[in-house]
Structure 1
Amino acid sequence: MISDWTVVGERQVYKGHKTIVKKDFRMPNGIVKDFDVIVAKQVATVFALTSDNKVLIARQFRPGPHKVVDELPGGYFEDGEEPLQAAARELLEETGYSGELTFVGKMIGSAYTTMVRSVFVARNCKKVAELNLDDTEFIEVVEKSLPEFLEQLRAGELSDINVAYRCLDFLGILVIDENKL
């Protein structure tokens, strides 16, 4: 039976935009192995739909892939902020839109980070303000039809693919056709 591993040591090895700690784990076989873990704040991500079912995309440059990518609006929680507040604020700041937010669920960021992503769907989004970006954000808001968005998603051309699929499933847009299996 799989069980949690025991942390037997931890030390910070880098602090910058992200913090990396090296955690020493005792594995079930008794061997101790270290792993690099990114320590990160919680994140809210929003799958936003306008009243005519256009998907709102935040297009921006990302240093990791070193290119402009399409993303769902979202970002880090501010201190003391609840998930719904963070989602509404990030949607407004990054797109200038607000909408009716519904909590979909939480997701782990990846196998090697402490980040937890709170996922929301926003319906009937309307433009209510200008963008209010951080000094490192340069965002172009793009509206895509659902067919355009699905095509982009299938091509792997979105940074938040897992979030998008979870939201599409939540909305009942993903349907399994057992005849195709």
Structure 2
Amino acid sequence: MLSVLIETRNDEEALARTLASLIGGAVEGVVREVIVCDTGSTDQTHRVAEHAGCHYVASGGVVAGIRQAKGEWLLLLEPGARLVEGWIDEVVAHTARQTMAARFSRVRASRVPFLARVFSGNRALADGLVISKQQAAAAAKNAGSAEAIARGRATKRLDAEIWVASAKQEHRSPK
């Protein structure tokens, strides 16, 4: 039902943390596949993806990943982001009744004060993005990265929470 896409570049440790938070979704049959879209890693990112049973896309970035995705809905995440227990039911309910994209709510410890958000380069993908494959494919025609697909998109806020990837592990995709 849900294809997870994670765009990476030298994110082996962060990728492992994100994949661990998806195990429950795979066991429940909600996560159909995980596609790791690499943008030029020189570390062991490909091995982490392969050992976890992910599809590894070495070229073409998130656009190639969207084309390969089998799910009708996509979940785009930054490496290092971790979904909090309870996300599965919320995503299933959302995809059953909505057509618009959605983002997760940040856990309290991950929330950034308002002024800090205003004056910092807020990452559009920091809160994840649940989006229909059709919408993502249309957006990908004009966007070269997962971040660009998420930027400026109107979304619904889910009750499920996410631990945001730390600034050190900030996603480094080409603009």
TM-score, length basis structure 2: 0.24
TM-score, length basis structure 1: 0.23
Which has the bigger relative contact order, CA under 8 A and spacing at least 6? 2
Which of the two has greater strand per residue? 1
Larger Rg: 1
